[in-house]
Structure 1
Amino acid sequence: MTDDDEPYLSDLLGKQLMGATLSQAGPGGSPSCLVLHTEGQGPVSLQPHGATLSLTAAVLPADGTPAAEDGRDNAMARFTGSPIRSVREIRHRHDGVDRVAGLTFHFPGGNVRVLALDGALVLAHDQHLGPVEAHLYEDVTLARVVRTCLASPSQWDAWTTEGQYLYFRYRHGEGTVEQHPSADTDTWDGEESRLWTLWEDGTDDGEIALPDFLALAGLRLAPDAEVSVLSSWQGREVKVGWPTPDA
């Protein structure tokens, strides 16, 4: 990626985090930006612009060295050497306003949230941020899941409690979660489609149980979620119990 390329969240998926640098403190004492270095990818910068978080190609000094650290604890740097499984939006909902406030980065060993709060860059790892938590939301709870392939590869159609359609697939040890406008594949080529999650488990397997897939993908079922299997030879869905290794 060159400095002129616009990075996408999907560009980071599956990449190993090689380093994460917090810049020197900005206004109010908060770090001004976070630069991520990933394997095979140019550096990207995350920085607050008012109430939103921007993702841009990072411009490094001519000698290629990163900006100086600001000396504080860097939650992202704890995951150096780990692959990025997913990057998902964090929304802030309050007083009728719904906006993207940040991103959650998922690694095999945990998560890091990067947020723009009151114009400041905030990093949180296994940390409650106080009263603002009541207004932060991630669309990761599933209301309905339908298994669409009973053999290899393991595949499901899923819908979140917010109505977002997701396509799950697991083949040759690789799991993916894709976001699309609907289950109709004719709608899958637009700007509303993107890769949510990507991981490899080091096997060549083509089958995985739904509970294991969800755990690796960082997703969860709603308490009243409907889980079913599409029986193609009968042309109908069959509801199943939860949990079940065949779901």
Structure 2
Amino acid sequence: MQSPNLSMYVSTAGPKSSTRDEQIVRELLQAIVDRRLRPGTRLPEDSLGEAFSVSRTTIRKALQKLAQQRLVTMEHNRGAKVAQPSRQEAADVFMARRLIEVALLPVVHENRHSKAYEELHELVLKEKAAHNAGKFQEEVQLSARFHVQLAVATGNLILGEQVAQLTSLSSLIISLYGTRSSVGCDCGEHSELLALIENDQIEKAKVWMDHHLDAIYQTINTNQDTSDDIDFKSMFGV
């Protein structure tokens, strides 16, 4: 079964599941990553059921799957809400990303002539265009896709799924704590990484990636507000 996280970031990752609860998982996941659903936002089953035109049971199944990915928290008698990662959880996520994404670079180098690797250049061009056009949210999405595609370029699907899940968590963390400097040139342009890989400078590429992810983490702060005033029917209505 295709990971909802991976299929959200990588269009060539395979067919998407057709079950209704998994479609809802993808839509809620996209809304969380896009910052339309902010950390701490309550997710009432009845309102979501009405918005998606499904039963509360189907909504509950979708929320449980998101809870397994740490993107939603569910409390007895209090319902579900978008997760609010603590500062320590944020540190743990970025540490995991640094360990994994630095280590995968030699394998990416070995596969640098693959179609999956070529797509990294296309993402860099799109990312720069979004930055120049001031399309911040699109730039955030493309930055996330770049990191997932980098893992996909190893040819290891399991690795791609792990990075996709960590990237989704990172997007949630940036949504809660991040600033405009959490993406973009301030943390290093992705074209710099590709140049190092293609010039066989793998050790320098590892240092670049470690600094890049640490620089993003260093931009986060805890002064972000959350809101429960959400019109689910307008957001998800079918």
- TM-score above 0.5: no
Q: Larger relative CO (CA 8 A, sep 6+): 1 or 2?
A: 2
TM-score category, normalised to shorter length: 0.3 to 0.5
Greater share of residues in helix: 2
**Please, what TM-score do these two structures have when normalized by structure 1?**
0.32
Greater share of residues in strand: 1
